Each structure stands twice: as structure tokens, then as C-alpha cells.
């Protein structure tokens, strides 16, 4: 992977990851999970554990519960816009909640939650024409878990 890539630090050796996955739209989220697991295997992660929650709205609480036990969390979900404003509440709460957990706990949380207008758009981002956002989220988690190590060392000096 080149240094121009946003994920150029892709060495996960020695690092432990938790993957939290929403069951809602599980046909999509299972593909995101497969992508995330592939990325962690390629990066040489020491371990990864998978935890399921009902929907994307529940991801922040699960991430908060797990944050202290892992080097990074990967949150996966698929929020697909229907005809109701429910989409905005669920997608917004997931994004803001996960960001808050990351800042409150100082444990990296990667946002692998698709927010799309249609199922086809979600499929395209779960191993289709637009790649696999689960894979990308896992590589972001690796990069940010690595980021924390030299920062912690530099602060001690």
C-alpha cells in the first residue's frame, strides 16, 4: 500500500480489534463484516472479536462497552433511506454516537456504517462496484490504532 493511501500504516501485528455489527439489513452487513475480517487478516491482526447488535442505532453503546478492552473498534451497519425520516435519526445518531465514544474513550472507532438511498447503492459499497466499506473501515482502524502508539510514547518524553 502506498504512502499516498489514507491507510498507509497497515501493520496490525500485535493489535486487538472488536467489530460491532448491526443485524438490520444483515444481507449487507454480513458482507461488510467479511470485508473487515479480510482486511484484518491481511494486516496481520493479533485477534478480532465480533459482536452483533440489533441496529445501527445500538452501535454506539456497544462500542462504548468495548472501547477499553481493544486497540480499536470497527462499527458496521447499513442504514437505507426509506420513505420516512427515520433514516436521518438512525444514521445521525450512529455517526454522532460513535464519534462521541471515540473522543470520550480515546479508543479509535472506525465508521463503517453505510448511509444510502437504496439497497443497490449499499450493495455496491459492500463488495460491489464501489468496493467494500467494511474493508476500508478496518484499515482505518488499523491506521488509527497505530497512530495512538507513537503519540503515547511522545507524550511521555
Residues that bind ligand INI (CB under 6 A): 22, 24-25, 54-58, 77-80, 82, 86-87, 90
42-69 burial, b if ≥16 CB within 10 A, otherwise e? ebebeebeeeebebbbbbbebbbebbee
Between CA 70 and CA 55 the distance in angstroms is 22
Is 7 catalytic? The answer is: no
Strand partners, 132: 126
Q: Give the integer Cα–Cα distance in Å for 22 and 52.
A: 6
CB of 60 to ligand INI, least distance (A): 11
CB nearer to ligand INI: give 86 or 130: 86
Closest chain position to ligand INI (CB): 55
DSSP H/E element including 38: helix 26-43
Between 78 and 109, name the residue whose CB sits nearer to ligand INI. 78
Catalytic residue among 1, 8, 41, 86: 86
Rounded to the nearest whole angstrom, what is the least distance from the CB of residue 69 to ligand INI in the complex?
23
Residue whose CB is less far from ligand INI, 122 or 143: 122
User: Closest approach of Cβ 121 to ligand INI, in Å?
Assistant: 12
Cα end-to-end distance, the chain, whole Å:
31
62 vs 145, beta carbon nearer ligand INI: 62
Q: Which residues are catalytic?
A: 86
Amino acid at each position: 500500500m502506498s504512502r499516498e493511501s489514507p491507510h498507509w500504516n497497515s501493520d496490525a501485528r500485535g493489535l486487538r480489534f472488536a467489530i460491532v455489527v448491526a443485524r438490520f439489513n444483515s444481507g449487507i452487513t454480513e458482507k461488510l463484516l467479511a470485508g473487515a475480517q479480510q482486511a484484518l487478516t491481511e494486516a496481520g491482526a493479533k485477534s478480532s472479536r465480533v459482536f452483533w447488535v440489533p441496529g445501527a442505532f445500538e452501535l454506539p453503546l456497544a462500542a462504548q462497552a468495548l472501547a477499553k478492552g481493544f486497540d480499536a473498534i470497527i462499527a458496521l451497519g447499513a442504514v437505507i433511506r426509506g420513505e420516512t425520516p427515520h433514516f436521518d435519526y438512525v444514521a445521525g445518531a450512529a455517526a454522532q454516537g460513535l464519534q462521541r465514544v471515540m473522543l470520550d474513550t480515546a479508543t479509535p472507532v472506525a465508521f463503517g456504517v453505510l448511509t444510502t438511498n437504496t439497497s443497490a447503492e449499499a450493495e455496491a459499497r459492500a463488495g460491489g462496484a464501489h468496493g467494500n466499506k467494511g474493508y476500508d473501515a478496518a484499515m482505518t482502524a488499523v491506521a488509527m490504532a497505530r497512530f495512538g502508539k507513537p503519540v503515547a510514547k511522545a507524550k511521555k518524553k
